[in-house]
A and B are shown apart, each in its own frame.
Chain A
Amino acid sequence: MFTHVMIGARDLGEGKAFYDATLATLGWPAGMQFRPETVFYSHEGAAFGVTLPINGEAATHANGGTIGFAAPGKEAVDAFHAAGLANGGTCEGEPGKRPQAPGNAYGAYLRDPTGNKICAFCQLPEGA
C-alpha cells in the first residue's frame, strides 16, 4: 500500500541522529544521504525519508498525523522509545499496552526533534 513516507526535519544532522538511533532498535540500517537535503532509510521493501523541505521553508509537523513503525517485540518498542528520548525526541506516550488497538498491542509514542509524531507497535503473545 505504501511506497514511501517522507517527513520534514528542521536540521538534517539532528534528524539523521534521531532516526539512525530509533530505527536501529527496529532492525533498520542507518540512513543513506540520498540527496544533499535528504536522508533515506530502507528496510525490507519500506522506504522512509527525512528531508529539509524542498520549498525552502521551515519543516513543520502535522496535527493529526502519525507514522507507525512495526517492531519485532516488546523489548524493541522499549528500546525505540529510550533511543528517541536519548536523541532529542520527546515522549508522546510511554511504552505500554494499547487496548484501543487491535489484538494484544504494545506500543510507544515519540515526537522527533522537529515535532513529527511517530510510534512503534508490536503484538504481544496472547495472554501476555
Chain B
Amino acid sequence: MMFRHMVLGTNDVDGARAFYDATFAAIGLPAAETDAGGRLVYRHGGDLFIVGRPIDGRPATHANGGTLGFSAPSPDAVRAWHRAGLANGGTLCEGEPVRRVSRATGRAAWVAYLRDPAGNKLCAAWDEPEEARDMRSGNSL
C-alpha cells in the first residue's frame, strides 16, 4: 500500500454520496461513512478515499490531466460501475467500457472512464490475468 489516501473535492456532498455509493457497490466496495467534518470516507483494506468540500471554502474544481483509477473485480464489474455512474450524476468520458492491451506493458485490461458530478476524471479497471493472455495467444509459460 504505497498510497495512503486520496481526496477529491465536491460541491454537493449528497450528490457525491449517491454517485460513489452506487459506483463502488458495483465494484464491491462498501458505502460511505461520514466523518466529523461531513466528508464521505470510503475504506477498503488499508486504503482510504475521501470526498468533501474543499477546506479553503472555495468551489471544488477538477484537475486537467488527473485521473483516479479504481480496481474492479471483473469485466462485468467494470461495465456495472460505468452504468451506475451514468445513472447517478456521472458523465461520459472516453467512451464506453473497452478491453485494450497496453502498448507499453503488453498487459490486457478492461477499462471504463467517467467524470463524477464535480468533473473529476475516474477510471475502473480490471487487469486480465497473465495466464489468460498466454492461453489465448497459444504461448506456453
Name A residues whose Cβ lies closer than 8 Å to a Cβ of B: 1-9, 26, 28, 34-35, 40, 43-49, 51-53, 55, 57-70, 114, 116, 120-121
Contacts and interface: CB of A to CB of B under 8 A. Distances in A.
17 contacts: A1-B49, A2-B6, A6-B65, A7-B66, A8-B64, A8-B66, A40-B104, A43-B2, A55-B64, A57-B64, A62-B63, A63-B9, A64-B118, A65-B8, A65-B62, A68-B4, A68-B6
Interface stretch (B67-75, B79-87, B130-138): B67-75
Interface in B1-23: 1-10
A65 B3 contact: no
Contact of A46 (B3, B64, B67): B3
A69 B48 CA distance: 11
Nearest to A115: B63
Contacts of B92: none
Contacts of A55: 64
Interface of B: 1-10, 29, 42, 44-45, 47-49, 52-56, 58-71, 103-104, 118, 120, 123, 125, 127
Nearest to A64: B9
The A contact surface, by secondary structure, is strand
A6 B94 CA distance: 15
A23 B137 CA distance: 37
A109 B67 CA distance: 20
Count chain A CB atoms within 10 A of each CB in B10, B64, B70 and give the residue with the most: B64
Contact of B45 (A1, A44, A51, A66): A1
Given A57-B64, A65-B66, A68-B3, 18 more contacts: A2-B3, A2-B6, A2-B49, A7-B65, A28-B2, A40-B104, A59-B65, A60-B61, A62-B8, A62-B62, A63-B59, A64-B9, A64-B54, A64-B55, A64-B61, A65-B63, A69-B4, A116-B63
